[in-house]
């Protein structure tokens, strides 16, 4: 049988060479596709793992801390800073001891201290007697407007010669007492587990290494002060300031007589009469006209740096009592923003939109004045003070924890192991402040270029600050109680990559945590940033729209699955074209050999013997493809300096065998239908279908020929339509989406970069399609030699015959282009919910290229048709 096959290939050298060329292209194409898939899949996994990777796999939060946006699988930026406790230390230990947990790093958002700092002798009061007004105002820059955060007015008398009653609403202390500018700055404090935090984000590596600065060690423990609400706590300081704004101080001299004793007594008596109850912050003197003496402005960043520098100077000092340590009162905690769904101004760019409104500042459990807080804000505040049931005379009814800071070191958040790429970072880390861009103004018009919106340090502001002071989790427990933990960030054993196995493992851990603790567990691994636009409203008026990268839960896993489907689609298209080519080759081969096989059957050959012939041919070609693939794989491995991929070779060999066995099965099925008598008698195996089409032109003749043998010609159409559809889709991605394949629900972030290798693979598929069409048209010409001879005998020129065959190729390409365009546009609609009808160039190229392929495929058959000799063909036919 083998010798018979070889002899047959020798007799039909032309088609044998064409078969070998097709096998070479198939083997090279399969090798290319498997190498492209391996490298691209690895690139996608690496991109998802490094670019869109949070420091933790799962975040655990207290029950009731769900956000409204989570219904859309979205988490707002820096959402952890808006959770104030709710997880007990017992629950933390329970999670930490689970077998699957590798790292469990808790975060305890303790609240804000009102850090007080002083600038010595910067306020200049005149020496002459008088009543002076000192106004202290803190302004913040929120990116929209310059707003007043706090405001206080006091009055001070100088050179008083009369007795001042205790209920007088002004200060009578020496003027030197007020020459220092006092600034109060809110600073966020967060408690962490030093060991787990070092393992999770490398916090220990971010600490400045010098003699005075170090990381937490086992000796750094909370200590109680002399009174129940006094605490000495170890802290790490971040000396970088994120605050925007300023502190302004104005000194004015009241326009009121004050030189003589009579003037002073008259002014004081009138004031006491107007305001019998003392109130230095709401003095009736505020209504008096005054003349400005001095105006001083200090940037808020300088205030914060000055305070932190005071702490830094005492780094690693030894404290014997509370008085020797710098400190501050822990006053309040800040709540989360309240987002409401809104209609997106540009749904094609921002699928999701929210709105947030400013309202009068609410301070829960606060009984003192609100002059040190903004009159309105976007968040609520809650006092951390402890109520005293029966305060002693002169004592306050609320006691706030006083924190004395034992500074052990300084840390730089820029050295922490979290993503810092502003285009790809996940905005969910504790150590970075929030950021946003003002993209639309109050009228909804684009702001170009976008204006950066940064945190202002305002605890009720739109954007949160990152903590400048870190302490230990045991300190948070001692101060805020057993449920001080706000969240727990987890790393899970074995969940190292973005894969289906890791996803299932994380789902199992999530379920175990929720069932055993009753807490909320959210899988953060496999999340990605997604741009979300938010309308900012104040007093019912729109200030503008800001864009922020929110967290799309599980989006990277969606990307992973979609890119896998995308790669599978490319491979499927390649294999489909290869299978169509082999089927077409087998079909054409059977058409050419029908008489030969009929004669063999008439001579007594069994059908099984013919089956063996086609199976041997398939096995030889499959082995040839595998051998060439081995050579190509070796070249790839040598160029990339890598070991050969045995699995790729195995898959290529398997696919090659499947492809050629499919062709052998097709041939075997057609062999069963051969009737020796009919085949030898008519010389025809496949009859042409009847077509009721009037022959009025060359075009109608070409169309009739195509329809008459629609089965074989449909293989030509299918072989060109498949790669055309994929090519159209890649062109859409390249030109319309700037070369980035993404999905409509992932925003603008990378899922698959369409590069040259994808077009090379399409080139291979198109080459196979041209071979398929060419071989089928070759057989069409062979079957029609007699009819072509008649046309030439009737006066058709060689050019007219060529034109007829080329026109058939043109029609095959046109039909393939229309089908490919329909498939490609349907895919684009499903993925992106749009149909690019406004892309005439894309439509034109998608139709022109398959027509070109059809014409190229028809070139050689047209030449063969033109060489038909009428006399010889008509003689043979008769």
Give the confidence band of 154 by pLDDT, cuts at 50, 70, 90: very high
Of 702, 695, 677, 503, nearest to 601 by C-alpha is 677
The stretches of 175-260 forming alpha helices (DSSP H) are: 194-201
Average pLDDT of the chain to the nearest whole number: 78
- Number of Cβ within 10 Å of residue 144's Cβ equals 17
Interatomic CA distance for residues 184 and 174, integer angstroms:
22
Stretch among 89-93, 97-101, 107-111, 311-315 having the lowest mean pLDDT: 311-315
Burial of 689 (0-12, 13-18, 19+ CB in 10 A): exposed
- The sign of the dihedral angle between the CA atoms of 732, 737, 740, 742 is negative
Q: How far is CA 59 from CA 7, 98, 499, 522, 568, in A?
A: 71, 15, 19, 5, 33
pLDDT at position 179: 92
CA count, 13 A, side-chain hemisphere, 307: 27
pLDDT at position 14: 63
Interatomic CA distance for residues 730 and 733, integer angstroms:
5
Q: What percent of the chain has pLDDT over 90?
A: 17
Give the confidence band of 676 by pLDDT, cuts at 50, 70, 90: low
pLDDT by residue (tens digit) across 44-101?
555 555 555 567 888 899 988 777 677 777 777 777 777 888 999 999 999 999 999 9
User: In the predicted model, is pLDDT for residue 742 greater than 80?
Assistant: no
Element (H, E) at 623: helix 607-640
Task: Output 398 or 593, whichever has higher pLDDT.
Answer: 398
Give the confidence band of 820 by pLDDT, cuts at 50, 70, 90: confident
Give the confidence band of 682 by pLDDT, cuts at 50, 70, 90: very low
Q: Is 738 left (phi over 0), alpha (psi -120 to 50) or beta?
A: left
The CA-CA-CA angle for residues 190, 196, 198, to 5°, reads 85
Contact status, residue 720 vs residue 853, Cβ threshold 8 Å = yes
Q: What percent of the chain has pLDDT over 70?
A: 76
Q: In the chain, what are the domain boundaries?
A: 1-52+526-687, 58-65+76-346+360-497, 688-878
Q: Is the peptide bond before 263 cis (omega within 30 degrees of 0)?
A: no
């Amino acid at each position: 049988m083998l010798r018979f096959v070889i002899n047959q290939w020798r007799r039909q050298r032309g088609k044998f060479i064409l078969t070998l060329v097709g096998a070479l292209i198939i083997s090279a194409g399969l090798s290319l596709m498997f190498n492209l898939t391996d490298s691209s899949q690895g690139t996608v996994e690496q991109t998802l793992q490094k670019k869109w990777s949070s420091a933790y796999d799962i975040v655990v939060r207290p029950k009731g801390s769900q956000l409204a946006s989570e219904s859309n699988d979205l988490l707002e930026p820096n959402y952890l800073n808006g959770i104030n406790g709710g997880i007990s230390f017992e629950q933390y230990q329970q999670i930490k001891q689970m077998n699957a947990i590798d790292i469990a790093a808790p975060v305890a958002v303790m609240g804000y201290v009102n850090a007080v700092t002083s600038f010595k002798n910067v306020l200049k009061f005149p020496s002459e007697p008088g009543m002076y007004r000192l106004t202290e105002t803190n302004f913040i820059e929120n990116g929209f407007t310059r707003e007043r955060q706090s405001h206080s007015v006091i009055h001070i008398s100088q050179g008083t010669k009369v007795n001042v009653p205790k209920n007088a609403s002004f200060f009578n202390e020496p003027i030197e007492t007020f020459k220092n500018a006092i600034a109060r700055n809110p600073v966020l404090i967060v408690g962490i587990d030093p060991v787990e935090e070092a393992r999770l984000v490398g916090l220990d590596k971010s600490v400045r290494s010098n003699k005075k600065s170090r990381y937490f060690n086992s000796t750094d423990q909370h200590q109680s002060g002399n009174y129940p609400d006094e605490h000495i706590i170890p802290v790490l300081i971040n000396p970088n300031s994120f605050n925007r704004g300023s502190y302004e101080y104005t000194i004015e001299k009241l326009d009121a007589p004050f030189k003589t004793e009579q003037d002073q007594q008259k002014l004081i008596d009138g004031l006491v009469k107007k305001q019998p109850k003392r109130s230095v912050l709401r003095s009736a003197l505020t209504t008096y006209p005054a003349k400005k003496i001095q105006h001083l402005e200090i940037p808020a960043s300088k205030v914060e740096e000055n305070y932190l520098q005071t702490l830094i100077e005492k780094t690693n000092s030894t404290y014997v009592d509370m008085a020797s340590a710098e400190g501050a009162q822990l006053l309040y905690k800040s709540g989360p923003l309240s987002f409401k769904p809104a209609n997106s101004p540009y749904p094609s760019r921002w699928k999701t939109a929210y709105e947030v409104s400013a309202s009068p500042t609410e301070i829960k459990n606060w009984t003192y004045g609100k002059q040190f807080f903004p009159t309105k804000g976007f968040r609520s505040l809650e006092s951390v003070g402890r109520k005293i049931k029966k305060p002693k005379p002169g004592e306050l009814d609320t006691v706030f924890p006083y924190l004395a800071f034992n500074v052990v070191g300084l840390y730089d958040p820029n050295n922490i192991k979290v993503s810092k790429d502003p285009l790809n970072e996940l905005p969910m880390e504790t150590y970075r402040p929030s950021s946003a861009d003002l993209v639309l103004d109050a009228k909804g018009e684009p702001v170009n270029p976008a204006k950066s919106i940064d945190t202002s340090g305002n605890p009720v502001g739109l954007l949160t600050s990152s903590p400048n002071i870190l302490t230990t989790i045991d300190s948070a427990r001692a101060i805020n109680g057993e449920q001080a933990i706000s969240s727990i960030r987890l790393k899970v054993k074995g969940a190292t990559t973005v894969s289906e196995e890791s996803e299932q493992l994380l789902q199992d851990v999530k379920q175990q945590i929720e069932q055993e603790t009753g807490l909320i567990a959210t899988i953060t691994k496999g999340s990605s940033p997604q741009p979300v636009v938010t309308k900012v409203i104040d007093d019912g008026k729109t200030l503008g729209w800001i864009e922020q990268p929110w967290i799309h839960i599980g989006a990277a896993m969606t990307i992973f699955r979609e890119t896998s489907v995308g790669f599978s689609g490319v491979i499927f298209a390649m294999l489909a074209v290869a299978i169509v080519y082999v089927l077409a080759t087998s079909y054409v081969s059977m058409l050419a050999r029908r008489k030969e096989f009929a004669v063999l059957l008439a001579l007594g050959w069994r059908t099984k013997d013919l089956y063996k012939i086609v199976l041997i041919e398939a096995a030889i070609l499959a082995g040839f493809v595998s051998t060439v693939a081995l050579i190509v794989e070796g070249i790839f491995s040598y160029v990339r300096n890598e070991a050969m991929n045995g699995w790729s070779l195995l898959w290529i060999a398997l696919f090659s065998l499947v492809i050629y066995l499919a062709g052998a099965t097709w041939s075997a099925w057609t062999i069963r239908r051969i009737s020796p008598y009919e085949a030898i008698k008519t010389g025809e195996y496949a009859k042409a279908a009847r077509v009721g089409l009037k022959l009025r032109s060359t075009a109608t003749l070409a169309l009739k020929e195509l329809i008459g043998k629609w089965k074989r010609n449909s293989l030509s159409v299918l072989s060109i339509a498949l790669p055309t559809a994929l090519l159209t889709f890649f062109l859409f991605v390249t030109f319309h989406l700037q070369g980035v394949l993404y999905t409509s629900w992932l925003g603008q972030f990378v899922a698959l970069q369409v590069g040259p290798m994808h077009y090379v693979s399409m080139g291979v598929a198109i080459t196979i399609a041209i071979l398929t069409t060419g071989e089928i048209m070759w057989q069409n010409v062979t079957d029609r030699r007699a009819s072509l001879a008649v046309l030439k005998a009737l006066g058709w020129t060689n050019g007219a015959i060529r034109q007829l065959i080329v026109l058939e190729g043109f029609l095959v390409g046109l039909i393939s282009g229309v089908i490919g365009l329909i498939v490609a546009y349907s895919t684009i609609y499903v993925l992106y919910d749009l149909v690019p009808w406004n892309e005439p160039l894309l439509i034109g190229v998608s139709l022109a290229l398959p027509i070109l392929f059809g014409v190229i495929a028809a070139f050689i058959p047209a030449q063969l048709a033109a060489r038909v000799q009428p006399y010889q063909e008509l003689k043979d036919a008769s």
